[in-house]
Amino acid sequence: MENKEVKESVSDILLKTTSKLAQPESYETVYTIPLHGMPMPDSEVLVEIVNTLRQIIFPGYFGTSNVNAGNISFYTGVNIDKVHKLLSEQILRGLCFDCIKENKNSCKDCENNAEILSAKFISLLPEIRERLSTDVKAMYDGDPAAKSFGEIIYCYPAIRAITNYRIAHELLQLEVPLIPRIISELAHSETGIDIHPGANIGNYFAIDHGTGVVIGETCVIGNNVKIYQGVTLGAKSFPLDENGNPIKGIPRHPIVEDNVVIYAEATILGRICIGANSIIGGNMWITDNVAPNSRMNPNR
């Protein structure tokens, strides 16, 4: 084919495909009408928010390196202002995304609500920091390869994933839509660790290596629990409503009590209870309750 003919035929294909894709019947099920012109939450801004929170929580490790007792309130104050501003905007987008579903006529209150929710979240930061410091300690104590707290805070993917989880969990408790999920997926993508923000997880929580870990929406995890890579705490099955759709929100994931260790690639499914102080061996498939103080081993 001649060069000119190629150009013309290409041009023709592009125009025709554009026209097809712009037909309402083509796009209707994969399209969103932004209510009140409010765009979707912005993942890059959420990354920036999480990074700024990391600077607030772990001073000296992330962000400026010359923070000291004299200037720490300057840096913290500026970062908290920044998080409040950015997060209010993203929460607003999340609220408006829900407005679409609820077909609300107006979301005038959304703006004020977003500012208040963002501030409420910020007021929880001292507690989030405290919990994370227990996680750091647990991971240091349980890992012969770790040489200092700092190495864990700065290099370990698990601490990144748990930080995102603890942030996302509090946002979900405040009933912020969509944002918690995006924040946990950011960590999932970076670390391969997939913790649903709805899960309840105690202090001194440790994950080793972590790739492939899945912790479901209604999991309840006690204090001082340690899990390895590839562990699934999932649902076994879920009841359907009369229309054959899954019923949302029913407890369907495991309860893991205090001081449990679960080794690599174990799959634990359903609303069962792994009793305190138990050790679950790797590659196991568990769908029934496990008594406290048990030792489960795949080759026995």
Site for a second copy in 235-254 (CB under 8 A): 235, 238, 245-250, 252
Rounded distance, CA 132 to CA 118, Å? Answer: 20
Query: Under the criterion CB under 8 A, does residue 282 sit at the interface with a second copy?
Result: yes
Tokens matching residue 200: 């309840």
Query: Under the criterion CB under 8 A, does residue 209 sit at the interface with a second copy?
Result: yes
Query: Under the criterion CB under 8 A, does residue 232 sit at the interface with a second copy?
Result: yes
Is residue 273 within 8 A of residue 254, CB to CB? The reply is yes
Type and span of the H or E element at 42: none
Q: Which is nearer to a second copy, 13 or 291 (by Cβ)?
A: 13
Query: Under the criterion CB under 8 A, does residue 292 sit at the interface with a second copy?
Result: no
Tokens matching residue 92: 């607003």
Residues 157 to 176 in contact with a second copy, rule: CB under 8 A: 157
Least distance between a second copy and beta carbon 40 (Å):
6
Among 47, 48, 86, 120, which residue interacts with a second copy (rule: CB under 8 A)? 120
Rounded distance, CA 273 to CA 178, Å? Answer: 29
Is residue 270 within 8 A of residue 254, CB to CB? The reply is yes
**Candidate segments 164-172, 219-227, 270-278, 280-288, binder of a second copy by CB under 8 A:** 280-288
Among 44, 103, 126, 242, which residue interacts with a second copy (rule: CB under 8 A)? 126
Rounded distance, CA 137 to CA 129, Å? Answer: 12
Among 50, 56, 99, 290, which residue interacts with a second copy (rule: CB under 8 A)? 56
Query: Under the criterion CB under 8 A, does residue 277 sit at the interface with a second copy?
Result: no
Quick one: residue 247, left, alpha or beta (phi over 0 = left, psi -120 to 50 = alpha)?
beta
Least distance between a second copy and beta carbon 172 (Å):
11
Among 291, 293, 295, 298, which residue interacts with a second copy (rule: CB under 8 A)? 298
Among 50, 138, 227, 269, which residue interacts with a second copy (rule: CB under 8 A)? 269
- What are the residues whose beta carbons fall under 8 Å from the beta carbon of 131, sequence distance 6 or more? 166, 203
Quick one: residue 60, left, alpha or beta (phi over 0 = left, psi -120 to 50 = alpha)?
left
